[in-house]
Structure 1
Amino acid sequence: MSPITLVAGRRLSVSNLDKVLYPATGFTKGEVLHYYAVVADVLLPHLRDRPVSFLRYPDGPGGQVFFTKNVPPGTPDWVTTAEVPRSEGPARMVVLDGLAALMWAANLVTEFHTPQWVLAEPAEADRIVFDLDPGAPASVVECCAVALWLRERLRADGIEAYAKTSGAKGLHLLAGVRGASSAEVSAYAKRLALEAERAMPDLVLHRMTRSLRGGKVFVDWSQNAGRKTTATPYTLRARDEPTVSAPVTWREVEECRDPGRLVLRADDMADRLRLLGDLLAPLLDRTTHGAIPGAAASE
């Protein structure tokens, strides 16, 4: 019988706490739950008001891994859900709006993925994201060079960018935006990816074509589409080790010469949060967001 624990006034059934999910380090399911409890104060604001998709790996990254957007079977009735527009028709998805709901979801063993819009305004994007994905032998070191170029290009348009590790091989660049649809943000992101490719043709690729990606950084602009999602800040990833998609400082990006320097794990996060706080907190203040040039709603 699964033990019952009380979280924020909710009775929560947890299971298999001693199960090793990350064999490379011996990291257990109990440690996964502990990690999410530690980062809850900074993670929840980035989940708030956004439908969450789950990439589940209940037997660890080496087991079955599957993606789900609909409300999972057995979801408690106290977990908030919302109807979300989709091209194929509306769907009901989970919204994680408190510690109890977060810990319930963490017990499913999942990565958290969210769109670049909030439920109150699904037609308007409030974030732009670039997923910088290196093709071997390129690494996150090359991603950092591309991120610095994109930071300056965005800044020229009055948009301030922030970086986080992908939790895998690459780097994510995020910025707060306003007054534009997902389609307009996606078009703008593609335009900047093309500019980056023209400026650094030996380093940057704006297309996903795998045969062309050796030694280059693929600037994935497509995750700005309204139907797409990106790994939420502070989510654990289904990798060999319990790596985190974690914010990094621009100084860390500028000084990155070793790929291992920007691999952040669950055990790193408590100290980083004490020292740095939430480096992505400015994304939560919509009054500071920049306007997409040429977007109809920003004119």
Structure 2
Amino acid sequence: MTGQLVDIEGHRIRLSNLDKVLYPAVGFTKRDVLDYYVRIADALLPHVRDRPLTLKRYPNGVEGKSFFEKNVSGHAPDWVRTVRIRTPGSSRGAEETDYALVQSLSTLVWVAHLASLELHIPQWTVGPRDGRRNPDLLVFDLDPGEPATIVECCTVARWLRTVVEGDGLRAYPKTSGSKGLQLYVPVRTRSGDRTGEYAKGLAERLERDHPDAVVSRMAKKLRGGKVFIDWSQNNVTKTTVAPYSLRARPTPTVSTPVTWDEVDSCREPDDLVFHADDVRTRVTTDGDLFAPLLAADRPAL
């Protein structure tokens, strides 16, 4: 076998094709992807820990074909923790799926080496016995319909912030790493559908209040020039891109936590575009802006 054998946390991983270019526009290689995830691991790992991971793999780079992978049981090393989740109605016809849990640097490197550029996670965690807990995060995924951009998303984000704060909650923004913005709200819930119900009600309320700027319905034909508040990402079967995950764009952009001051001052879409190098610098300088999402003490929803 060819490749470089490395030891990470006592686990041996064979790394290969490290010079393969995965982002052709800028020559960003698999080595660069691995380097980014290793360097950002301290900030990223707490946000994915205990959350079943859906991989989005790009074996031939961002210009090639990609695929989502949930079931890793066939090729995961025995030291990668997996969790079996019931998936009735799966498109694969499987009633259960074995997801990877990225609990450690070694697992993160293994995942990244599969050219899993994007890491997608649900808004809930699993317990010690792999049971699914109720959601602990509420998310609003703001998707602009052309010609709207992330600038318009920032306006909608401020409206959402005002409402959720009025309900005793706190919202934390991050870029999607693509064209939109996402707001996360740490919560404590008693049922799997509570966050979805709340998010849908709030999206519909903002659509009524701002019909020229906001849409809460799924139909793409309704989104032109408006911001779609995707409340459905709170469904327990859905996932959202993880904080600090790379995105499969022409350049290695990152889903990046930002401050409300940055949201308020956004005037051009490029104001909230961050690449791998930018994010490493931000975390070194400012720490993890999403650290409040990890607090054990959460308001009830």
TM over 0.5: yes
> Are the counterparts in 2 of residues 205 and 216 from structure 1 also a CA contact under 8 Å?
yes
Equivalent position of 2:103 in the other structure = 97
Please give the alpha-carbon distance, in whole angstroms, between the structure 2 residues aligned to 1:179 and 1:149: 23
Equivalent position of 1:35 in the other structure = 36
Give SS of 2:188's match. Answer: strand
Q: Displacement, 1:271? A: 1.1
Alignment of 1:10-89 (within 5 A): 10-71=11-72, 73-88=74-89, 89=95
Q: Displacement, 1:14? A: 0.9
Alignment of 1:1-299 (within 5 A): 1-71=2-72, 73-88=74-89, 89-110=95-116, 111-120=118-127, 122-287=132-297, 289-292=298-301
Letter aligned with residue 248 of structure 1: V
**TM-score scaled by length of structure 2:** 0.94
Please give the alpha-carbon distance, in whole angstroms, between the structure 1 residues aligned to 2:50 and 2:148: 36
Residue-by-residue CA offset, 1:57-105 (whole Å, 9 max, x unaligned): 1111111110111115321111111122333433211111100010000
> Are the counterparts in 1 of residues 126 and 133 from structure 2 also a CA contact under 8 Å?
no
Give SS of 1:150's match. Answer: helix
Give SS of 2:187's match. Answer: strand
Give SS of 1:74's match. Answer: coil
> Are the counterparts in 2 of residues 130 and 189 from structure 1 also a CA contact under 8 Å?
yes
Structure 2 unmatched runs, 5+: 90-94
**TM-score scaled by length of structure 1:** 0.95
Please give the alpha-carbon distance, in whole angstroms, between the structure 1 residues aligned to 2:271 and 2:78: 43
> Are the counterparts in 1 of residues 140 and 233 from structure 2 also a CA contact under 8 Å?
yes
Structure 1 unmatched runs, 5+: 293-299
> Are the counterparts in 2 of residues 176 and 286 from structure 1 also a CA contact under 8 Å?
no
Please give the alpha-carbon distance, in whole angstroms, between the structure 2 residues aligned to 1:197 and 1:160: 21
Indicate the RMSD between aligned Cα atoms, in angstroms. 1.1
Q: Displacement, 1:123? A: 4.5
Please give the alpha-carbon distance, in whole angstroms, between the structure 2 residues aligned to 1:258 and 1:190: 28
Equivalent position of 1:295 in the other structure = none
Residue-by-residue CA offset, 1:106-155 (whole Å, 9 max, x unaligned): 10111111111110262411000011000111000000000111111111
> Are the counterparts in 2 of residues 158 and 291 from structure 1 also a CA contact under 8 Å?
no
**Equivalent pairs, count:** 291
Please give the alpha-carbon distance, in whole angstroms, between the structure 1 residues aligned to 2:206 and 2:266: 20
> Are the counterparts in 1 of residues 73 and 98 from structure 2 also a CA contact under 8 Å?
no
Please give the alpha-carbon distance, in whole angstroms, between the structure 1 residues aligned to 2:86 and 2:192: 13
- Of all paired residues, the percent bearing the same amino acid is 51
Please give the alpha-carbon distance, in whole angstroms, between the structure 2 residues aligned to 1:224 and 1:77: 31
> Are the counterparts in 2 of residues 167 and 243 from structure 1 also a CA contact under 8 Å?
yes
> Are the counterparts in 1 of residues 126 and 132 from structure 2 also a CA contact under 8 Å?
yes
Please give the alpha-carbon distance, in whole angstroms, between the structure 2 residues aligned to 1:152 and 1:61: 37
Name which of structure 1's ranges 19-28 and 85-94 shifts more when overlaid on structure 2: 85-94
Please give the alpha-carbon distance, in whole angstroms, between the structure 1 residues aligned to 2:223 and 2:56: 26
